[in-house]
Structures are given as C-alpha cells and as structure tokens.
Amino acid sequence: MVRTVVPVGLAVVLAAVGVLHFVWAFSTWPMKDTVTFTKTIGGSDDGVMPSAPSTILVGLALIGGAVLTLMVNESVPAIGPDWLRLVGMYGLAAVLLARGLGGYFMNSGAAVEFQRLNSLLYSPLCVALGVLGGIVAVAASRR
C-alpha cells in the first residue's frame, strides 16, 4: 500500500491542485467574480487577485512535487541522485505540513469565507498531504 496507493494518491492530488493554480492564474473559476474569489480562496476582501506569475509558480511547484513523489517511489524514471530526491521529498512534506499547521494563523484578518474554508479544507488537506509525503519519504529511506 505504501508503494502504490499512498504515492499515487499524493501525486494525483498535488497535480490536481497544481492544475487548479494554473486555472486560477487566468480566471476566477469556480467563482463568479474576483471579489468572491479573493474572499473564499485568496483570503482578502479587496478583490485583488494574486499575480499570475506567482500563481503559476505555485502550480509548477505542486506539479513538481507530484513528479518528485513518483520518482522517489520509482514509478517514473528518476533524474538526479537518490539522496537529492529524498531530501526534496522530506522538504515537500515539511512545506506541506508547515502550510497546513501554519494555515490556522492565516485566519486572523482574513475574510470570513476564507477562514471557514481554510479551517475545514485547505489547512487539513495540507496536513494530510504533508503526512502522506512523510510516509513516502520514510518508505523510500528504508529501501
């Protein structure tokens, strides 16, 4: 299960969220306007969208994390030394855990809509993904 379901599940979710960031770089989907988008996804009431380049970079990082997960799991051909991929996997897990646990501090001053979704979805999802990333990293360390 650790060699199949966990890494593939993690990679699929990371890639899907990465693709969402690409969509958000150019649209407010699934929201109807920028104010609604920034209140629920961006956290601010001002209606100012994050810059497209920064949103694309987040999307690339998430998709890169998905590819890294599959390389560490030996599901796709690997690039670079094993130790560097392993360090990257532990780093990915740490960043996701930091966003998940630190996300609750993002609620102060944020729009009410964002606070609710961040507490119920965004932060718990990041914690879960971070834990899965840690499981993949530890499993790869033991091989």
Is 2 a residue whose pLDDT tops 80? no
Return mean pLDDT, the chain: 95
Question: What's the confidence (pLDDT) of residue 42?
Answer: 86
User: What string of DSSP letters covers the chain?
Assistant: -TTTHHHHHHHHHHHHHHHHHHHHHH--TTSSSHHHHIIIII--SS-PPPPHHHHHHHHHHHHHHHHHHHHHTTSS---S-HHHHHHHHHHHHHHHHHHHHHGGGGGTTS-HHHHHHIIIIIHHHHHHHHHHHHHHHHHHHT-
Is 23 a residue whose pLDDT tops 80? yes
Question: What's the confidence (pLDDT) of residue 1?
Answer: 72
**pLDDT class of 47 with cuts at 50, 70, 90:** confident
- Over residues 41-50, the mean pLDDT reads 87
pTM of the model: 0.94
Q: How many domains does the chain have?
A: 1
Q: Domain range spanning residue 108?
A: 5-141
Is 59 a residue whose pLDDT tops 80? yes
